[in-house]
Amino acid sequence: MFAQLHTSGKPLLMPNPWDAGSAVMLKAMGFQAFGSTSAGAAYTAGRPEGTLSLDEMLDAAETLARVSGLPVSADLENGGSDTPEAAAHAIREVGKRGLAGASIEDCAPGVATYPMALSIARVEAAVAAAKDTGVVLTARAEGLQGDAPDLEDICTRISAFSKAGADVVFAPGLTDADMVRAVVKAAGDTPVSVILGAPYGALTVARLADLGVARISLGSSLARAAYGGALTAARNLLEKGSFALPENTYSFDEIEALLRG
């Protein structure tokens, strides 16, 4: 079961494929579970993050699960709307799609975090829906990504979400060991998920394991890396009149082998 893959000190490495092909290849590399990425799904649709509907985010996550056969936790942003009822509805829809998990954020796309009471009420409603569906619920505290990050507020929210019954808690934006340690302490016995990679500092898997983290994801990093390589090569063609692939580009045969499993 997906929940059993979350072990403090032995974190689940859960990358975020952005389309069917990346999911198939990452499975072939040996990963056990995926998180979807709302940003990566939006890029695939030719749109910026925060513009997908709830159904579109669910479709993206369902595609990853269908082609890989692995547990997938759906990135649902705020669940489609601000209310506790919307959060519960989103989790019930996840259950109907047969997805293993989902995350709910405590802010709307591009908007400051919700007041504490509303954020807790949304998690409580999502927890109740998750219990009915078997969905592994990740409650996210997003405040560290805003203009005025407040670790104390984040830890208060993480503690409250844990007490409300979230299966996993997640505070994107942790950049050093002291911040991770504070969130793990605030979470108590609830597994903590951490995002790894730029712009979130230079922490390693081994260091995060030592700090008691139970899950590590990559957010939109893989999608941005893939698009970055392609766009850099295309820009060179336009601006320099030459074309050269990045040195780490996989060969045709290597890609084909991964897609065949």
The predicted structure's pLDDT at residue 202: 78
Per-residue pLDDT band for 223 (boundaries 50, 70, 90) equals: very high
Cα dihedral 125→128→134→139 (10° resolution): 40
Across 45-72, average pLDDT: 97
The predicted structure's pLDDT at residue 44: 97
* Calpha distance 134→100 (Å, rounded): 8
Cβ distance 169 to 191 under 8 Å? Answer: yes
Cβ distance 40 to 220 under 8 Å? Answer: yes
Fold assignment, 3-220? TIM Barrel (3.20.20)
Q: 246 or 148, which is more confident?
A: 246
Q: pLDDT at residue 112 above 90?
A: no
SS3 call for 66 = helix
* Calpha distance 52→243 (Å, rounded): 34
Q: pLDDT at residue 66 above 70?
A: yes
* Calpha distance 143→160 (Å, rounded): 15
Across 69-82, average pLDDT: 97
What distances in angstroms separate CA 189 from CA 6, 165, 224, 247, one per listed residue?
Answer: 12, 11, 33, 44
The fraction of the chain above a pLDDT of 70, given in percent, is 98
Q: pLDDT at residue 148 above 80?
A: no
The predicted structure's pLDDT at residue 222: 96
Number of Cβ atoms within 10 Å of the Cβ of 261: 8
Cβ distance 187 to 215 under 8 Å? Answer: no
The fraction of the chain above a pLDDT of 90, given in percent, is 92
Least confident piece of the model among 202-206, 226-230, 253-257: 202-206
Across 4-13, average pLDDT: 97
Sorted by sequence, the CB contacts under 8 Å of residue 178 that are 6+ apart come out as: none
Q: pLDDT at residue 147 above 80?
A: no
Q: pLDDT at residue 199 above 70?
A: no
Cα dihedral 258→100→184→150 (10° resolution): 90
